[in-house]
Amino acid sequence: MWGVLRSYRAPQSDLYDLSGGAAGIRIANLQNFDGVCPDVVLDEFGNPVDPPGRDRNIPLVPVQYDVAAVLANDVLSQTGFAAGDLFIPDNAPNPDDVLIDPGLNNNEGGLLDPNGGTLVLNPRATAPNGPLHDPTAMMYVRLEDLQPRFIDGVSPDGTIPAGAPLPTDGIDDRCQEPDGAGGLDLNIALAGCPVELIADAPVEPLVLRANAGDCVEVTLHNKLIDQAADIDGNPVFTCEEDLLNPGNCVADTLEPLFDLEGAQDAQDQGLLLVQANGTTQVLLANIVFDQVPDLAGYNTLLQMVIRNRQAQPQPTDLVNGVLANSVTTFNNNLIRPSAHVGLHPQLVEYDVTRGDGTNVGINGQQTVPPGGRTTYQWYAGDLRPDYANVSGGRNNRRANLLATPVEFGGTNLIPADTVKQGQKGLIGALVIEPQGSTWPDALADLTDTERDRQSATATDTRYTRADVTVECDGINVLTCPDGSFEDLVVVVQKGNNHRLGDGTAVPNIASEGIGIPEDSHDAGQKGVNYGSEPAWFRFGLAPDASFGRGPGGLGSPADAWKMYSNEKGAGEDPATPVYDVPADAEARLRLLEPTGVGRGSTFTVHGHIWQRDPYVCLDEDGNPVKTDGLPGKCANVDMSTFRQVGSLSIGKNPIGFYLGGQESVQPYEHFEIRLENTGGPNGVTGDYLWRDQASFGNTDGIWGLLRVEDPPTP
């Protein structure tokens, strides 16, 4: 179920004013904005900030991020595991394969590199047949976390410029560009440049942060498919001009023959493309476009019955032993993931025709084709006309646009393809922090680490952006009473397609028949931040084990009481996040679910309670307002002007109520779990369980630890 709400700037001949209505307001101060962002820094109340001793405003400098959509098979490796621990099929065409085959060469979409990487969700070799992984996973990754990948026998090295080749330096020439001084600079954003993840860079859903009032510009690069390939999977190359000497042809350089986005149109016209040197003709019909790898699994969607008027199939119309046109339902295995990507934000302001990250109605294309890039602009605040000061007549109303910074907290970053891309991990988080706060963000500045799931060695770690300390000293006593807080991003994943170590698909829990879920709302596997700790895996049971106490059932383990103990996990921490925090500190868990199936979760943290609505209001000087004698209580909003934005900050609400569980954790939802004191009122150290209180989510791997430790010695 979906639709489109279309808004027009000018009157339309087929639309009529409602009785008593007036024309929309035209913005009078657009010259003070760059897109949706004000051109100067504003305070908490939308007023320009004047620097001390200077009679002018401070220009608003955008916070810029470069992000790439990549395949785990390309950027990760199996070096952390022994040979044979992780099976990755080549996914080559094989018409004799059935839909779900032990070999799993289903040829669903593009090819896989059996020697490439795979996203490991749980690295333990637990029976039956661990680790858990997904070789078709897709990820958003910061460009700074990537480096050039040299592919033996494929990467050109020392071929540019022609006649005076560079030294053989082990850097793919497709990752270099002129530096303006006769040399070459490294630029991994170039289309065609193969990349890999830096050894200790985070492997987790994308985490971006910004201050309230920031202008956020995210450039998204699509590196899922860097080159077109012919029907046999061979790259199609062209003769390219010498980068340093324009006009000179460099033979055999590996560059795409044509622009992928325009290629589809050319194919529709039945055109031939001729290689630049005129020696080769390529029929576009023989080119494979826009295919990323996929593997069939036991995931299901809400049932859709196919009803058409096609002729009844004949006994001779067999496809893989099945009657042609005999499919009666349409489901998950019949959908391939899109190779076009986008980033759809929440809560922040943006131009829906440019910053939405999805293709909707008559808006222009906002998704990024393979090899392409685009930039989205978002404002971390509220934009609305100044309704209290509207000028002009009924049909010519004008007012200034008011910008107000807002601390939104955690929000979801959602892929353009919310079905298959979400299942494969192409998800993220955007956290809007208090205005004026700071945090470690660059890879070189990260200090927090987590268990490296991409290694079988339990002591190996990677840096993480999902667990950082935000410094906010001096802001105000309500929003930052301790001068800092622990910022913990919890991205819940549902409906995924995990594989066992031998590459076979993981059946559903509570399945019927051969691995199929009883209810599509429970379809697929679950986890948090690319980690999963299912109960069946922890106890060495079959994924589709019965719920009873019979042999092999989920109720059969005699040591079920060890479910959350490291003793049951081979003495290791769980593969799901273990958040390390000092005792008696403030912690904010950004509870998110960008995509997933319909079944909701109820989130709880043992030993802690939090406010359902931790939102407060401040006065013009940034101090807590006092309404009815209560610091931080928001006054009633004047609905006649719409000027006042409700709460602008997260903090201790003087009229908030406390709870110990958050229900309705479902796709697109975002919640603020603000713990005022880690370890409870007395700051007791230890491991505190957080989990889905509901049985299916808990059983299928949605749980982890909040590790409260003694504060560091000053």
Same domain, 501 and 580: yes
Alpha helices in 183-339 (DSSP H): 260-268
pLDDT in tens, 598-639: 888 999 999 999 999 999 887 766 677 777 778 778 777 665
Amino acid at site 59: P
Q: Tens digit of pLDDT for each residue in 271-292?
A: 233 333 333 333 333 334 457 8
Confirm if 401 and 573 have CB atoms less than 8 A apart. Answer: no
| Residue 367: closest CA among 156, 552, 195, 222 | 222
Residue 692 resides in a domain: yes
Assigned domain for 284 exists: no
The domain boundary residue, chosen from 419, 451, 478: 419
Domain co-membership, 204 together with 71: yes
Torsion, Cα of 697, 454, 191, 444 (10° steps): 100
Please indicate, yes or no, if residue 254 is contained in any of the structural domains. Answer: no
Q: Is the dihedral of CA 26, 30, 36, 37 positive or negative?
A: negative
pLDDT band at 246 (very low <50, low <70, confident <90, very high): very low
Residues contacting residue 682 through CB under 8 Å, at least 6 positions apart: none
* Per-residue model confidence as pLDDT tens digits over 27-63: 888 888 999 999 887 765 667 776 665 556 778 889 9
Q: Name the pTM for this structure.
A: 0.87
Tell me, yes or no, whether 653 lies in a domain: no
Q: State residue 714's pLDDT score.
A: 72
* 574 and 700 share one domain: yes
Q: What is the pLDDT of residue 621?
A: 66
- pLDDT at position 263: 36
Contact 90, 112 (CB under 8 A): yes
Comparing CA positions, the residue from 228, 224, 299 lying closest to residue 73 is 224
Structure tokens at 339: 């190779």
Q: Centre a 10 Å sphere on the Cβ of residue 582 and count the other Cβ atoms it contains.
A: 18
Whether residue 492 sits in one domain with residue 411: no
219 and 302 part of one domain: yes
Domain stops at, among 401, 419, 437: 419
Q: From residue 373, how far is each of 217, 227, 367, 376, 414 by CA, in Å?
A: 13, 14, 9, 10, 17
Q: Which pLDDT score, from 0 to 100, does residue 42 have?
A: 77
- DSSP letters, 629-697, are TEETPPPPP-TTT----S--EES--TT--EES-EEEE-TT-EEEEEESSTTTTTT--EEEEEEESSHHH
What does the mean pLDDT of the chain come to?
Answer: 81
95 preceded by cis ω (within 30°)? Answer: no
497 in the same domain as 382:
no
The helix, strand and coil proportions of the chain, stated in percent and rounded to the nearest 5, come to 5, 30, 65
Q: 495 and 390 share a domain?
A: no
Q: How confident is the model at residue 233 (pLDDT cuts 50, 70, 90)?
A: very low
Residue 386 counted as domain residue: yes
Asked if the model's pLDDT at residue 307 lies above 60, the reply is no
246: which 2 tokens? 């324009």
Domain range for residue 567? 487-605+675-714
Amino acid letter at 187? Answer: N
Q: Are residues 70 and 219 in the same domain?
A: yes
The C-alpha atoms of residue 568 and residue 559 are separated, in whole angstroms, by: 9
Torsion from C-alpha of 709, 711, 713, 714, nearest 10 degrees:
160
Does residue 510 form part of some domain?
yes
The per-residue pLDDT for 94 is: 53
**Mean pLDDT across the stretch 500-524?**
81
Q: Characterise 696 by phi-psi region: left (phi > 0), alpha (psi -120 to 50), beta (else).
A: alpha
Task: Indicate the range of 172-181, 316-325, 668-677, 689-698 predicted with least confidence.
Answer: 316-325
CA distance 88 to 133: 10
Q: Are 115 and 102 in contact (CB under 8 A)?
A: no
Instruction: Find residue 469's DSSP bridge partners.
Output: 486
Count of domains observed in the chain:
2
At 577, which CATH number? 2.60.40
Structure tokens at 520: 């599509």
Say how far apart CA 190 and CA 322 lie, in whole Å.
45
E strands present in 123-227: 132-134, 138-142, 146-148, 176-178, 184-186, 195-197, 206-211, 215-222
Q: Single out the residue of 492, 353, 527, 475 nearest to residue 410, CA to CA.
A: 492
**pLDDT tens-digit readout, 392-428:** 877 788 888 889 899 999 999 999 999 899 999 999 9
pLDDT in tens, 10-19: 778 888 777 6
- In terms of domains, do 594 and 698 share one? yes
Question: Is residue 699 in some structural domain?
Answer: yes
Q: Is residue 237 part of a domain?
A: no
Residue finishing a domain among 419, 448, 467: 419
Copy the structure tokens of residue 671: 């919640």
Please give the backbone phi and psi of residue 245, each rounded to the nearest 5 degrees, phi first. Answer: -135, 80
What is the per-residue pLDDT for 273?
Answer: 35
Do 200 and 313 lie in a common domain? Answer: yes
Residue 264, φ and ψ in degrees, nearest 5:
-60, -40
First to last CA, the chain: 56
Q: Are residues 315 and 392 in the same domain?
A: yes
